[in-house]
Structure 1
Amino acid sequence: MPALIGIARSRGVSGYLGDRVNHWPAVHRLDAARLFRLALEKAPAGTILHGVAEQGVLIRDIAQVIGRQLDLPVASISQDDAAEPA
């Protein structure tokens, strides 16, 4: 999140890529670490594990909160524009 906030500040807009359906995985790092430890200790080889109960948070929603807190506009940004240095 700090990187997204920094980019928004430097560019003057809180942006999200493309069509608004990209997601940010919603799992706390300690929960993920606990899952990895349990998987290594107890899961049979080849087991597929899924550590979250949702698809994640929409990047657009994150951009809207950043924009609101920084009083910046929120906009969809193309892949090409996102690749330009801030």
Structure 2
Amino acid sequence: MSLTPQDIARRRRAKRSNEQVKLLATFLNNLAVGTSVGAILVPLASERPVSPHIFAIWIPVALLLHVAAQVACAFLLRSED
């Protein structure tokens, strides 16, 4: 099966778009990891008492960032065929 120049260009655009989506998902996941680690380590390393609400706020934020990365992968990836 021979590919036309339009097919080749379309596949390249899809691959480029998919790589950008994967970079976005990686960025969001890294933010989620940093947020969760910060939510755990900051209260432990702090010399003064830290409100327990810090943990209750930042862990859901980390989960939302992770879910956003999953949604980006699920809905923004394009077919390369």
TM over 0.5: no
> Based on CA coordinates, which of the two structures has the bigger radius of gyration?
2
Structure with higher helix content: 2
TM-score, normalising length: structure 1: 0.28
Return the TM-score normalized by structure 2. Answer: 0.29
